[in-house]
Structure 1
Amino acid sequence: MPDLLAEALALPGLGWLVTTAFIAGLVRGFAGFGTALIFLPVAAQIIDPVWAVTVLIVMDLAGPAPAIPRALKDGHLKDLMRLVVATALALPFGLVALFAVDPHLFKLAVSVISLIMLAALMTGKRYGGEVTPPVVWTTGGIAGVLGGAAGIPGPPVILLYMASSHPARVIRANTTVYLFFFDLMMLAGFFFAGRLAGMPLILGVIVMLPNLLGNLVGGAVFHPGYESLYRGVAYMIIAASSLSGLYAALF
């Protein structure tokens, strides 16, 4: 273990991982989403893609944890239950794809998916029908496959909630709790697949503190009246991360 820790601390690019973890936590804290969209395109340039997802799910457990009790009170629990169960059923299919994917293809796919989801969020593209239980179940399934394969479960859920009649407080709460439960499910999936060990586990613990700090700072500055400002800042940071990943994958 000491040798692995020393190797992790000597990893080229560790500073970028730590910085990106903090920024991703900051955005998650004030916007309620964006951790994977910000962290993965950068992390996949530094470490193995499966490692990057492992680091993400380990670090992301602590970050939003302080906000979970309040979010459970503010959220819509029936929708949350449907999303979580549907994701759990679909997640194994995504994990099979993740463990088989070529690293270069993963880098490219994560950046492209992040940019597509960002474009959908910025242009207001969203589900236009009624948000019924079957629609919520379907969204959870899509998020499970996408999250398992690319580590990005949030955008389908966010796009769905942008079309719902829930107030911003409820949407933010449900998104926060859903992503936390997704990380728990991913953690279990990686454990049973024998992927939760060694260097990526240690790296996840190392970047957990800066990510938690970012979440706390972001949560402290959050104010419902400035939601549009928070989203604008989140969009710019996601765009910068995704474009850097796309450039690295192509050139």
Structure 2
Amino acid sequence: MLQELAIWTGVSLPYLTVSTVMVFIAGVVRGFAGFGLSAVLMASIVVFLPPVELIPICFLLEAAASIAMFKGGLRDADRKTAFTLAICSAIGVPIGLAATTSIPTDLSKLVALLLVLTLTLLQLLKINVKLFSAPLALPATGFAAGIVTGLASIGGMVIALYILASAQNARKMRGSLVLFLFCGMVTSLATLLMFDVLDETAIQRSLVFAPVVLAGVFVGSRMFNRSLEQTYKRACLGLLTVLACAGLIRTVVF
């Protein structure tokens, strides 16, 4: 059975096993934090699956997770914030994609990751970052995240950083992230279709991984309870730090 799945997905059995474990972990992270699924996979599975093959898989798994978490996200989210960020991000994505022809992708990703890491560490150290409280911070963050998504595919980390810098309670923060990612599926789908990377192989692999990621989302969502809400923000900032460092290492080494 497992060997047949390996043949069907075009991934060797050892790599398929490792990928399945990482997909489950990514699902747990997504279920608890409301974000991070793609970043976890891009920091791990990319070692043996190139980004061009992994990106459509991430999209389909994010879509499965977003649909599973939509009801709770819609209920808990700051809808105005989530929708504004999603609209402004959608406007920025084409600009980022257009810029990829003139700006080296690795350089843009390196700069973006360093910025995310710096601002995250400032929050962890409880140093007030007035950048996030400026009058136009909300639409500007969404627009900047869209550009970064087009350039380096890490716009979600920028959005997470902005929402975590807010004074909202943990449940509303998580809900806003879930709703933003749900809205972002439309933009992501248009991008994938534009570059013709959503192929049959990606769909087959995603069908295998979808039940695994949904199981992880269920576990992660169960972990997000009242006893952990107090540590949610710090846990997510720690997650952002780890993901930013992993992204930096991958950008420099690979």
Native 8 Å contact 1:112 1:242 kept in 2: yes
**Gaps (5+ residues) in structure 2?**
none
Relative to structure 1, the CA distance from residue 114 to residue 5 in structure 2 (aligned partners, 3 Å threshold; closer, same or farther) is: farther
Number of the residue aligned with 2:47? 45
Number of the residue aligned with 1:139? 141
Relative to structure 1, the CA distance from residue 53 to residue 74 in structure 2 (aligned partners, 3 Å threshold; closer, same or farther) is: same
Q: 2:212 aligns with which of 210, 213, 220?
A: 210
Q: 1:154 aligns with which of 153, 156, 163?
A: 156
CA deviation string 1:14-64 (max 9, x = no partner) = 222222221111011112222233221112222121222221111111123
Check if 1:201 corresponds to 2:199.
Answer: no
The letter for the 2-side match of 1:14 is L
Native 8 Å contact 1:27 1:234 kept in 2: no
SS at match of 1:154: helix
Q: CA deviation at 1:193?
A: 2.5
Number of the residue aligned with 1:166? 168
Native 8 Å contact 2:120 2:161 kept in 1: no
Native 8 Å contact 1:139 1:160 kept in 2: yes
Q: How many residues align?
A: 250
Relative to structure 1, the CA distance from residue 219 to residue 63 in structure 2 (aligned partners, 3 Å threshold; closer, same or farther) is: same
The letter for the 2-side match of 1:169 is R
Number of the residue aligned with 2:253? 250
| Cα distance in 1, alignment partners of residues 231 and 125 from structure 2 | 15
Q: 1:33 aligns with which of 18, 32, 35?
A: 35
CA deviation string 1:172-225 (max 9, x = no partner) = 111111012223321221113222113233323322221111111111121133
Of structures 1 and 2, the one with the larger relative CO (CA 8 A, separation 6+) is 1
| Cα distance in 2, alignment partners of residues 165 and 92 from structure 1 | 31
Number of the residue aligned with 1:64? 66
Native 8 Å contact 1:84 1:178 kept in 2: yes
Native 8 Å contact 2:8 2:204 kept in 1: no
The letter for the 2-side match of 1:250 is V
CA deviation string 1:98-117 (max 9, x = no partner) = 69998987997897677557
Q: CA deviation at 1:4?
A: 9.8
After superposition, where does 1:108-127 map in structure 2 within 5 Å? 119=121, 122-124=124-126, 127=129
Native 8 Å contact 2:164 2:233 kept in 1: no
| Cα distance in 2, alignment partners of residues 101 and 14 from structure 1 | 34
Number of the residue aligned with 2:181? 179
The letter for the 1-side match of 2:145 is A
TM-score (normalizing by structure 2) = 0.79
TM-score (normalizing by structure 1) = 0.79
Native 8 Å contact 1:49 1:106 kept in 2: no
**Gaps (5+ residues) in structure 1?**
none
Number of the residue aligned with 1:80? 82
Number of the residue aligned with 2:25? 23
The letter for the 1-side match of 2:54 is A
Instruction: Give the superposed CA RMSD.
Output: 3.6
